Chain A
Amino acid sequence: MRQRSAKSGSRLLFVVFVSGLWAEGAVAQDRPKDSEWPSYAADLAGTRYRPLDQIKASNFNDVEIAWRIKTDNFGNRPEYKLEGTPLMVNGVLYATAGSRRAVIALDPATGELLWIHGEHEGARGAAAPRQLSGRGLAYWSDGKEERILYVTPGYQLICLDAKTGMRVPSFGNKGALDLKLDDDQEIFPDLTTGEIGIQSAPVVAKDTVIIGAAFREGMTPKSMRNNKGYVRGFDVRTGKRLWIFHTIPKKGEFGYDTWLNGSAEYTGNTGVWTQITVDEQLGLVYLPVESPTNDFYGGHRPGNNLFGETLVCVDLKTGQRKWHFQLVHHPLWDMDISSAPILTDIVADGKPIKAVAQPTKQGFLYVFDRVTGKPVWPFEERKVEVGSVPGEWYSPTQPIPSKPPAYSRNGVLEEDIVDFTPQIHEQAKAIAAKYHWGPVYTPPIESKIDGPLGTLTVGTASGGTNWPGGSYDPETHIAYLYACNACAEPIGLVRAPKEISDMNYIAGTAGEEVKILRGPGENAGADAPMPSKKGPAKSGYVPLNVDGLPLLKPPYGTITAINLDKGEIVWQIAHGETPDVVRNHPALKGLNIPRTGQETYNVGTLVTKTLVIAGEGQITTTSEHPRGAMLRAYDKKTGKEVGAVYMPAPQTGSPMTYMLNGKQYIVVAVSGGAYSGEYIAYTLPSAE
Chain B
Amino acid sequence: MKSTLSLGVGIYLVAIAAPYSMPGATVTVEQAAASSESRSVWERVYTEEQAKRGETVYRKECASCHGDTLVGGGGAAPLTGGTFLSNWNGLTLGDLFDRIRKTMPQGTPGKLTKQQDADVLAYVLSFNKFPAGKTELSRQTEFLKEIRFEATNPNANK
Contact with A along B64-100 (1 / 0, CB 8 A): 1101110001111100111101111111000110110
Asked whether A94 is an interface residue with its Cβ less than 8 Å from the other chain, the reply is: no
Asked whether A519 is an interface residue with its Cβ less than 8 Å from the other chain, the reply is: yes
- Distance of A624 Cα from B5 Cα, bound (Å): 11
Quick check: B152 and A621 within 8 Å, CB to CB? Answer: no
Quick check: B99 and A519 within 8 Å, CB to CB? Answer: no
- Distance of A41 Cα from B99 Cα, bound (Å): 32
Asked whether A31 is an interface residue with its Cβ less than 8 Å from the other chain, the reply is: no
Question: Which B90-148 residues have a C-beta within 8 angstroms of A?
Answer: 90-91, 95-96, 98-99, 102-103, 105-109, 111
Chain A nearest CB, measured from B69 CB (Å): 5
- Distance of A132 Cα from B90 Cα, bound (Å): 27
Kindly list chain B residues whose C-beta atoms are within 8 Å of the C-beta of A624.
1
Kindly list chain A residues whose C-beta atoms are within 8 Å of the C-beta of B12.
626-627
Quick check: B13 and A524 within 8 Å, CB to CB? Answer: no
Chain B nearest CB, measured from A420 CB (Å): 14
Kindly list chain B residues whose C-beta atoms are within 8 Å of the C-beta of A617.
83
Asked whether A635 is an interface residue with its Cβ less than 8 Å from the other chain, the reply is: no
Partner of A217, one of B20, B73, B102, B151: B73
Asked whether B27 is an interface residue with its Cβ less than 8 Å from the other chain, the reply is: no
Asked whether B34 is an interface residue with its Cβ less than 8 Å from the other chain, the reply is: no
Quick check: B64 and A77 within 8 Å, CB to CB? Answer: no
Q: A524-B106, A618-B82 are in contact. Are A673 and B64 (CB under 8 A)?
A: no
In this complex, what residue of A is CB-closest to B96?
A674
Contact count band on A: 35 or more
Contact with B along A570-588 (1 / 0, CB 8 A): 0000000001110011110
Quick check: B107 and A126 within 8 Å, CB to CB? Answer: yes
Quick check: B22 and A513 within 8 Å, CB to CB? Answer: no
Asked whether A230 is an interface residue with its Cβ less than 8 Å from the other chain, the reply is: no
Contact with B along A70-82 (1 / 0, CB 8 A): 0000000110110
CB within 8 Å of B: which residues of A?
77-78, 80-81, 126, 132, 217, 219, 509, 512-513, 515-527, 530, 533, 541, 543-545, 548, 550, 579-581, 584-587, 589, 598-600, 617-621, 623-628, 644-646, 648, 672-674
21 intermolecular pairs with C-beta atoms under 8 Å apart: A77-B103, A78-B103, A126-B107, A512-B69, A517-B64, A517-B67, A518-B64, A519-B65, A520-B76, A524-B61, A533-B56, A541-B68, A548-B82, A550-B82, A579-B82, A589-B157, A598-B82, A598-B86, A626-B12, A673-B87, A673-B91
CB within 8 Å of A: which residues of B?
1, 4-6, 8-10, 12-13, 16, 19-23, 56, 59-61, 63-65, 67-69, 73-77, 80-83, 85-91, 95-96, 98-99, 102-103, 105-109, 111, 151-153, 156-157
